[in-house]
Amino acid sequence: MAATIASDKDFENVDITYSVMVPILQAFAKLTHSYGWSIILLTLLVRALVWPLVTASTKSMQRMSQLQPMTKKIQEKYKDNPELYQKKTMEFYAKNKMNPLGGCLPTLVQLPILIALFSTFTGPPFQDKEIPVKVMLAKPADAQSVKIVNTPTSGANSPYVSPDGTLAKFAVQPGDQTLVWGRDAAGKETNESTVIDFHAIAVEGDAPANFKPAWKIITDPNRALIDPVSGQATFPAAGEVIVSANFPNAKPIEIPIKVEPRPAGEDPGPLGGFLGGGKDPYQTKTERAPEQTTVDVNGKTVNVTVSPGPSTVVAGRSGVQFEVKALDGGSLEGIKPRWAIVKDANSSSIDVNGRAVFPRPGEITIGAVIPGEAKDESFGPITSIGKLAKGVELFEPRNFDVLFLLIAFAGTMYLSSMLMAPAASASTDPDQAAIQKQTQQTMPIAVTAMFFFFALPAGVFLYLVVSNIVQTLQTWLIYKSPPTPFVDVTADDDGGGDDGGGKIIDITGAGDNGDSGTKISVPQKKAKKKK
């Protein structure tokens, strides 16, 4: 059971994500009984709040694009007089009430909201959140130089949203530690595993009585590792390890591995075997013949062997490659084992109650996993709003919903950018127009490609698609309105205008013949009557 302690000043951290965004989401979820609909409603609410800012930003960018022909005209006309050029430029912006940075400020104002939204959708209740705790266990021989550290807690800002909408923030007690391995509380050397009991404590809000985080070992330099697909294994520390080859519809094959200590003075890195007297980096001595079993392949029984068999290896040298081969001319097409370490005497462990056992010195990171209670909720064709997929995973049938959302995101972003194309074509500078057009075409591709390789929860893509639809509508409404005429400050120098106000320039999306460009409407001076 999670303990609850009084809030401390260190924990008084109000943030927009869990003081604003999540409560609004919870309110929408209670109203609609669906986190999917709550995401859509939150998206619409956010877009409504930033609508004036986006409108101001888009209009500013639109107007700046339309004024480019005139700014270029000013530059060309006064290129030999920098002082007058600066004066005319500032006069041009002032008379037309333009700010060159006007399109940036509204975007900057939105950044805190965008960051809060990203945090909302990548943590509870939509995703699990780990609270890492580092435990540094020094060797007894180094005890004199070790500074003991006992941090009371770690992760005081880690939120939890219960299924009933209750909000709380959790920390792990004790926090980061630096200790001497193999010593008891009195400092006496025991040469036994160090044991630490970790607990999740609520530092803000109310913790449900039955709340328990999931505990895990995040990193452990002494842990034997094996790639579950390729079978490449590494054994960093001496001890006994059991490797398992797991086949569908067949009994697993377990291969015991004895890991001997690395010779004193040998380089512990991946090239240690070569630097240690040119020895075989694998240093594998097979004690018994490879193990055999039978597996079912497309209704046929096939005899297979796993090699190497029970072996002795040297700790810290290059890994051992485990392989499966079919015997008697059989075929393993479509059948691949899943490799796993099922026993490791050196590996740190932590149970469901948070009791961690560290059998060897080293820097180990344990983690308390705060669950995202809504991550497995479905919404329409989306099977899980917390689902993560990237790269080739998107083409697996189970991830087609995320792939569809990614394609929808790309399509809506491209449509929005194409609606801005008339502003680019309105420029009389063909080079500038070409650059803007190229940017508008490539930006959706570049952003989509980034999301293709960067996994985001399906709920985030749902937000992005709905947000892009609203953005597209807003862009269309802005760009369909006729542009505001502006003042040409060079008119006085051309002899036009009696009051120094300059010519009135009427910007349109097309010329008289339908071609893109600007149309200039110049009021005619009245001829003075002769006396």
442 vs 434: CA distance, rounded Å: 12
Residue range 66-82: average pLDDT?
Answer: 76
436 vs 434: CA distance, rounded Å: 5
Q: 126 near 25, Cβ under 8 Å?
A: no
478-517: pLDDT as tens digits: 877 776 666 666 665 554 444 445 555 554 444 444 444 4
Handedness of CA 273, 279, 280, 285 (dihedral sign): negative
Closest CA to 71 of 510, 501, 503, 488: 488
pLDDT of 404 over the 90 cut: yes
**Residue 242 has what DSSP assignment?**
E
Among 202-211, 279-288, 381-390, the minimum mean pLDDT is found in 279-288
Length of the chain: 531
Q: 325 near 304, Cβ under 8 Å?
A: yes
Give the best-scoring range by mean pLDDT among 108-112, 414-418, 422-426, 461-465: 461-465
| Greater pLDDT, 57 or 26 | 26
| Greater pLDDT, 530 or 106 | 106
Angle formed by the axes of helices 35-66 and 68-77, to 10°?
30
159 vs 168: CA distance, rounded Å: 6
DSSP per-residue letters across 264-316: TT---STTHHHHTTS--SS--EE-SPPEEEEEEETTEEEEEEEES-SEEEETT
Handedness of CA 504, 508, 510, 516 (dihedral sign): positive
Closest CA to 127 of 455, 516, 348: 455
Residue 11: per-residue pLDDT: 36
Residue 518: per-residue pLDDT: 42
Pure H helices in 390-457: 400-419, 421-425, 430-453
**For residue 257, which amino acid is it?**
I
Question: How is the beta sheet containing 300-307 ordered, strand by strand?
Answer: 291-297, 300-307, 323-326
The pLDDT confidence band at residue 306, using thresholds 50, 70 and 90, is: confident
pLDDT of 109 over the 60 cut: yes
Residue 241: per-residue pLDDT: 92
Residue 345: per-residue pLDDT: 84
Check: pTM over 0.85? Answer yes or no. Answer: no
Q: 245 near 324, Cβ under 8 Å?
A: yes
Residue 368: per-residue pLDDT: 94
> Is residue 87 classed as helix, strand or coil in its secondary structure?
helix
411-455: pLDDT as tens digits: 888 887 777 665 544 445 566 666 666 766 777 788 888 888 888
490 vs 477: CA distance, rounded Å: 32
**Residue 528 CB partners (closer than 8 Å, separation 6+):** none
Number of H helices, E strands in the chain: 11, 26
Q: What is the mean pLDDT of the chain?
A: 77
275-304: pLDDT as tens digits: 333 444 445 566 666 667 777 666 677 787
pLDDT of 198 over the 90 cut: yes
The pLDDT confidence band at residue 214, using thresholds 50, 70 and 90, is: very high
Closest CA to 255 of 303, 217, 293: 293
Which DSSP helix (H) or strand (E) runs through 354? none
pLDDT of 477 over the 80 cut: yes
335-375: pLDDT as tens digits: 788 899 998 988 899 999 999 999 989 999 999 999 988 88
59 vs 47: CA distance, rounded Å: 17
**Residue 38 CB partners (closer than 8 Å, separation 6+):** 25, 26, 28, 29, 31, 32
**Structure tokens, 278:** 């040119």
Residue 465: per-residue pLDDT: 92
% of residues, the chain, pLDDT over 70: 73
Q: 245 near 310, Cβ under 8 Å?
A: no
28 vs 34: CA distance, rounded Å: 8
pLDDT of 99 over the 50 cut: yes
350 vs 369: CA distance, rounded Å: 12
Q: Provide the CB-side half-sphere exposure for 386 (13 A, CA).
A: 17
Q: What are phi and psi of 130, to 5 degrees?
A: -90, 140
The pLDDT confidence band at residue 72, using thresholds 50, 70 and 90, is: confident
Q: Are strands 214-219 and 362-370 parallel, antiparallel or unpaired?
A: antiparallel
Q: Are strands 486-488 and 503-506 parallel, antiparallel or unpaired?
A: antiparallel
Angle formed by the axes of helices 35-66 and 458-479, to 10°?
40
Residue at token pair 């009933």: 164
The CA angle 134-135-140, to the nearest 5 degrees, is: 155
168-182: pLDDT as tens digits: 888 999 999 999 998
Q: What are phi and psi of 194, to 5 degrees?
A: -80, 135
